Amino acid sequence: MKNTIFTTPILSPLLRLISNSILRMTGWSVDGKLPDLPKYILVGAPHTSNWDFVLFLGIIFKLKVNVKFMGKAELFRNPFGWFFYWCGGVPVDRKKSQGLVEQMVDACGKSENFILTIAPEGTRHHVTEWKRGFYHIAKNAGVPIVMAIVDGKHKTVHVGQLFHPTENMEADIKTIQDFFAGMVGINPRKKYITLKE
């Protein structure tokens, strides 16, 4: 699908106006800007509330960027599959011999622009470790990782920190998580992960 919710003429500017108004009314702001690159993995954390999706939409509209997300293939079937494509969805078929990482790397390679958003915790609940799919996708696709840090205490989302994966995955994961250390999300009762030494 050529246009998405973020690029549809007339409708997208209207939705951007509405989302910007909601951000202002709720006291949330964006600090920083995303890099001017055609492809990267946008990592958002901490993920502590169902409202994170609403905040995510507001931030993306505010930054005027066209992003994608992963969704199970069943969502993209008729009669409503078009809607998930329009929202920027990329289907993942669990029945394929290719795994999730390989499918996303393939989709990235076939696209001129591919900004994939991922919440590495994979759940709203407290976790002690992140899922590492985001890292493997970035590494195998040869694209950088960009941070979107949710600072619930100050109602600010910090964006723009750029990281290029190296040959040392464990050190890389530690460095990436350090960007988010001490942060709490929308729901401050769900503390952020404690980094292992």
Instruction: List, for residues 28-46, the tens digit of each pLDDT value.
Output: 999 999 999 999 999 998 8
- Does 194 fall in a domain? no
**pLDDT score of 129 more than 70:** yes
Instruction: List, for residues 115-124, the tens digit of each pLDDT value.
Output: 999 988 765 5
Kindly state the percentage of the chain with pLDDT values over 70: 90
- Does 78 fall in a domain? yes
- Does 3 fall in a domain? no
Domain count, the chain: 1
- Does 27 fall in a domain? yes
Kindly state the percentage of the chain with pLDDT values over 90: 69
The pLDDT-based confidence of 94 (bands split at 50, 70, 90) is confident
Amino acid (one-letter) located at 23:
L
Instruction: Specify the range with the lowest mean pLDDT, choosing from 18-22, 99-103, 123-127, 165-169.
Output: 123-127
**Burial class of residue 79 (count of CB atoms within 10 Å of its CB; 0-12, 13-18, 19+):** exposed
Q: What are phi and psi of 101, to 5 degrees?
A: -60, -45
* Integer Cα distance of 171 and 73 in angstroms: 33
- Does 125 fall in a domain? yes
- Tokens 């992963």, residue? 70
Q: What's the confidence (pLDDT) of residue 119?
A: 87
**pLDDT score of 145 more than 80:** yes
pTM (predicted TM-score): 0.88
- Does 186 fall in a domain? no
- Does 123 fall in a domain? yes
**pLDDT score of 66 more than 90:** yes
- Does 65 fall in a domain? yes
* Enclosing domain of residue 147: 11-180
